[in-house]
Amino acid sequence: MDAAAPNPVDEAIISRRSVRAFLPTPVPQATVEELLRVAARAASGTNTQPWLVHVVTGAAKTRLSSAILQVFNDPEALPQHQSEFSIYPSAWVSPYLDRRRKVGWDLYGLLGIGKGEHARTHAQHARNFQFFDAPVGMIFTVDRSFGYAAWVDYGLFMGNLMTAARARGLHTCPQFAFAQFQRVIAASLQLPDNEQVLCGLSLGYEDSAAVENSLRTERAPLEAWASFHV
Ligand SMILES: Cc1cc2nc3c(=O)[nH]c(=O)nc-3n(C[C@H](O)[C@H](O)[C@H](O)COP(=O)(O)O)c2cc1C
């Protein structure tokens, strides 16, 4: 390979970032189907392919967003909706807590939302449930019979999907925020009982004028997390 030429796979991976404001520009269903077919080339333990993807657009997306927002904006109903699995540690340790805080402060700093501005913080979090105005939303579910190992496979699938999106000029935001609303999502999408909501994702074209999309996250240097045993 020509060292001067950028590797297109690396380019797609490195140019991926979580986009939190999208243009209304539609994404044709054929493109979404192509992305999903590419993503499904992911490896999975014993080729189980545990991904179950619910694509929402148009009226179905609006219905889902409204149903979640109704609960999210109701202080009495909200505490009754919790993720069925622990997304993050109950007791945070360093360096993870520091990284989590930094990305939060950086994002809210860009948006001019200060500490203690609860209404504005809530409104920004609510943007998740509008899929950040993306024309395509996805809800990823997994059969409840699977253990955590299948979630590794799922991560590979989602990584492929996000990389393939970049290769087509599209952007994404993966969203655990949806996991809190299993019951609302199950009712809206008529999910069978065996499907557990794992994550959501927004897909579309970036609104590059939106200040939140100027966020650039850091990565710890290799030495901080890779050990070479020889
Ligand atoms: C599985 C997963 C779930 C995430 N959930 C959310 C979410 O609910 N809302 C959100 O705004 N960002 C979410 N993110 C985005 C992360 O905050 C983001 O990946 C991280 O800060 C690194 O930034 P980057 O994606 O721009 O490189 C999620 C990322 C992953 C991988």
Is there an atom of ligand 1 within 6 Å of 174 CB? Answer: yes
Q: Is the C-alpha dihedral spanning 104, 110, 116, 122 positive or negative? A: negative
Is there an atom of ligand 1 within 6 Å of 199 CB? Answer: yes
CA–CA separation, 87 and 85 (whole Å) = 6
Ligand 1 centroid to Cα of residue 230, in Å, is 34
pLDDT (tens place) for every residue of the chain, 230 residues total: 555 678 999 999 999 999 999 999 999 999 999 999 999 999 999 999 999 999 999 999 999 999 999 999 999 999 999 999 999 999 999 999 999 999 999 999 999 999 999 999 999 999 999 999 999 999 999 999 998 889 999 999 999 999 999 999 999 999 999 999 999 999 999 999 999 999 999 999 999 999 999 999 999 999 999 999 99
Ligand 1 centroid to Cα of residue 120, in Å, is 19
Is there an atom of ligand 1 within 6 Å of 165 CB? Answer: no
Q: Does domain 8-81+129-213 have CATH number 3.40.109.10?
A: yes
For residues 199 and 162, the answer to whether their CB atoms sit within 8 Å is no
Cis-peptide, bond into residue 79, ω within 30° of zero: no
Is there an atom of ligand 1 within 6 Å of 175 CB? Answer: yes
Nearest CA to ligand 1 atom 13: 175
Ligand 1 centroid to Cα of residue 227, in Å, is 26
Ligand 1 centroid to Cα of residue 203, in Å, is 13
Single pTM value for the model: 0.97
Atom of ligand 1 nearest to the CA of 177: 8
Is there an atom of ligand 1 within 6 Å of 200 CB? Answer: no
CA angle 83, 97, 85 (to 5 degrees): 15
Is there an atom of ligand 1 within 6 Å of 17 CB? Answer: yes
Nearest CA to ligand 1 atom 12: 175
**Strand ranges in 3-45 using DSSP code E only, listed in sequence order:** none
